[in-house]
Chains A and B, each alone.
Chain A
Amino acid sequence: DADVTQTPRNRITKTGKRIMLECSQTKGHDRMYWYRQDPGLGLRLIYYSFDVKDINKGEISDGYSVSRQAQAKFSLSLESAIPNQTALYFCATSDTGAQETQYFGPGTRLLVL
């Protein structure tokens, strides 16, 4: 089984809809991250969490919110989706003792119409 899983893998939604992307990990890591990847822009950090009670904004957090339900689960929400949020979304994890080494999930491809 994969260490970092993301659901759904693909999603099509309409402008204005609320959508949640979920991430689960079995690596036992404390730190979890959400990134988006766009052609020509690379990977950009949306939110990150060092533990269940510690959540921080990344460089592009506007329009997104997150919830760390447990050490192993970190969800990303788009409260009111807009077309420029169409992107590939990745969850990642790292261990506090090796925080520079991040492990990525398989990604969620989101299309907002």
Chain B
Amino acid sequence: QKEVEQDPGPLSVPEGAIVSLNCTYSNSAFQYFMWYRQYSRKGPELLMYTYSSGNKEDGRFTAQVDKSSKYISLFIRDSQPSDSATYLCAGYGNNRLAFGKGNQVVVIP
């Protein structure tokens, strides 16, 4: 079992819709949880990170972590075509990052 599970299925949404992405993890040592965004032919860039459980909001993006259920979520409000990218969730513990497989998101104008 991978430490971070992310259903890699692509997601297409119309512009303005809410995008909801989810991951689960198995390593109880994880204290930090990240979302990276990766545009085609580019390296991943850190989008948001959360320490322990709770919510964090940054503009149109909200990250949620529920450590009791080992669940990580990312919500994108008022999605834009420029949000079209692959989104990778990750957990940090034991001196390393463990990534999910990534979700490709396409926002259709």
Contact = CB atoms under 8 A, between A and B. Distances in A.
A65 interface: no
A-side binding surface: helix, strand, loop or mixed?
A: strand
B42 to A, nearest CB: 6
**Chain A: interface size category:** 10 to 19
A105 B43 contact: yes
Q: How large is the interface on B (under 10, 10 to 19, 20 to 34, 35 or more residues)?
A: 20 to 34
A107 B42 CA distance: 7
B44 A43 contact: yes
Q: Which of A4, A40, A102 has the most CB atoms of chain B within a 10 A radius of its CB?
A: A102
Nearest to B98: A45
Interface string B87-109: 01000100111011110000000
A99 B95 contact: yes
Q: Which of A48, A100, A103 has the largest number of chain B CB atoms within 10 A?
A: A100
A74 interface: no
B42 A106 contact: yes
6 contacts: A40-B101, A42-B100, A42-B101, A43-B44, A90-B44, A100-B97
Interface of B: 6, 8, 31-32, 34, 36, 41-46, 49, 88, 92, 95-97, 99-102
Interface of A: 4, 40-45, 48, 58, 90, 99-107
